[in-house]
Amino acid sequence: MPEVKVLTRHLGAEGLTTLAGYERVGGYQALKKALTMGPEAIFAEVKASGLRGRGGAGFPTATKWSFLPQGVFPRYLCVNADESEPGCFKDRYLLEEFPHQLLEGVMICAYALQVSHAFIYIRGEYRAQRELLDKAVAEAYQAGFAGQGILGQDWNCELIVHGGAGAYICGEETAMLDSLEGLRGQPRLKPPFPAIKGLYGQPTVVNNVETLSNLPYIISEGGAKYAAMGTESSPGSRLFCVSGHVERPGNYEIAMGRTTFRELLEMAGGVWRGRGIKAMQPGGGSMQILGPQHLDLAIDFKAVADAGSALGAGALVIMDETTCLVNVSMRLVDFYEHESCGKCVPCREGTYFESELMHRLEAGLASTAELATLADICANMDGRCFCLLGDTATWFVMSAYKMFPEEFQRHCGAGHCPVRAELERVA
């Protein structure tokens, strides 16, 4: 059975978004336990859990924490709730259904790292979720889980919700730090990494909402139990967002490494309208395309990397046999063009030309020679941009071109989208 319940184990309990409801299912017991364990023992449990970041890069959480220099204070924690990756809606779900589980995880982390302030950076578009979060934070303060003298101990930590204002790049951790400091949200040069010199120049950890939401379980049940749900290379469980051409789009929690894409697709009711699958994207808009031949791959960091893609932020987008991959590529390229922060030339100029060209191609106006230009532009971007946004702006389109070269070629000089034209003829 690939479905497991860690993050979603309390789903359906009454009043879960309120403090009282969360406490009824044992909420905040893990924080109390953590305070008796002390920072080192918490760190050991997180290490044993094998938890890897859920924000995109999959970086081992305990390792990231260990980079904080000894004895340098104040330190800060930034919780990444900027979720804007195309295809992603899991952090939103965690905020809507389990806001206190997140806050408990945040405070466990804050205690383990002895930070003075924990900031939750939530995207401006999540207005309803922000309202819920603000209520939960107020309740946590009232109950003595945040603020001064937390749970009667000599420990202080402020919990601050910070709203973004519409910029995908602010999900990139160093851009987020600049945005939090009241600047334009543009990435910083690394190194120094945030752990050494982050918010206000102080040691800082940035972790994703889902990453931290796992902590209450890990502390109450033990890291080893969490790890054992998954496999050695992909420990624990994970929330996966499934969208696109499926019968039941939504969030599904799965055992990492033990679940295949086919099984996840089945959980979501299979491809809609009884159709076949043409392609899928396994990790959100930034990741490379996979085909039906990859359906039996395990949802495992290594297996997916070996297949030439990545699990990214945990979003599976299914495209049925009627899909035009040129059209999908154009949408993604438009997104990156819009979200390029403008700091570096390869990305700012590259995404502009990429987008121009994709629009001509989609309309059937580009020539075959322009296809070579597209590949050229992308080759000049990938690996040459200041941050990953520019690199990833080429990954889907280039992988789709490689997997479906004839589909791209057929658009050249056709005067229209040949895939759509065919569909209309059949209909």
Ligand X SMILES: Cc1cc2nc3c(=O)[nH]c(=O)nc-3n(C[C@H](O)[C@H](O)[C@H](O)COP(=O)(O)O)c2cc1C
Residues that bind other proteins (CB under 8 A): 74, 83-89, 91-92, 117, 123-128, 130-131, 134, 138, 158, 160-168, 179-185, 200, 241-245, 249-251, 281, 285, 315, 317, 319, 323, 327-328, 331-332, 334-335, 338-339, 341
Of 132, 103, 92, nearest in space to 250 by CA: 92
Q: Which residue's CB is nearer to ligand SF4, number 337 or number 407? A: 337
Question: Which of ligand SF4, other proteins, ligand X, none lies near 166, with the C-beta cut-off 5 to 8 A by kind?
Answer: other proteins
Stretch that binds ligand SF4, among 85-93, 114-122, 308-316, 383-391 (CB under 6 A): 383-391
340, 355, 394, 399: residue in contact with ligand SF4 (rule CB under 6 A): 340
Question: Which of ligand X, ligand SF4, other proteins, none lies near 312, with the C-beta cut-off 5 to 8 A by kind?
Answer: none
Q: Are 272 and 246 in contact (CB under 8 A)?
A: yes
Helix residue spans in 50-124 (DSSP H): 61-66, 90-97, 99-113
CA distances from 204 to 73, 75, 83, 151, 199 (A): 10, 6, 19, 24, 6
149 secondary structure, DSSP code: S
Q: Which residue's CB is nearer to other proteins, number 45 or number 178? A: 178
101, 129, 207, 323: residue in contact with ligand X (rule CB under 6 A): 207
Q: Are 159 and 146 in contact (CB under 8 A)?
A: yes
Question: Which of ligand X, ligand SF4, other proteins, none lies near 244, with the C-beta cut-off 5 to 8 A by kind?
Answer: other proteins
How far, in Å, CA of 171 to CA of 317, rounded?
Answer: 20
CA distances from 356 to 339, 360, 375, 377, 386 (A): 15, 7, 14, 12, 22
Tokens (6 digits) for 299: 């949802």
57 lies in the site for ligand X, by CB under 6 A: yes
Shortest spacing between CB 116 and other proteins, in angstroms: 8
Shortest spacing between CB 211 and ligand SF4, in angstroms: 22
259, 343, 362, 395: residue in contact with ligand SF4 (rule CB under 6 A): 343
Shortest spacing between CB 366 and ligand X, in angstroms: 27
Shortest spacing between CB 138 and other proteins, in angstroms: 8
211 lies in the site for ligand X, by CB under 6 A: yes
Of 362, 409, 355, nearest in space to 377 by CA: 355
Of 283, 243, 294, nearest in space to 267 by CA: 243
Residue with tokens 């040459």: 384
Residues binding ligand X (CB under 6 A): 53-57, 59, 64, 80, 82-85, 169, 171-173, 206-208, 211, 387-389
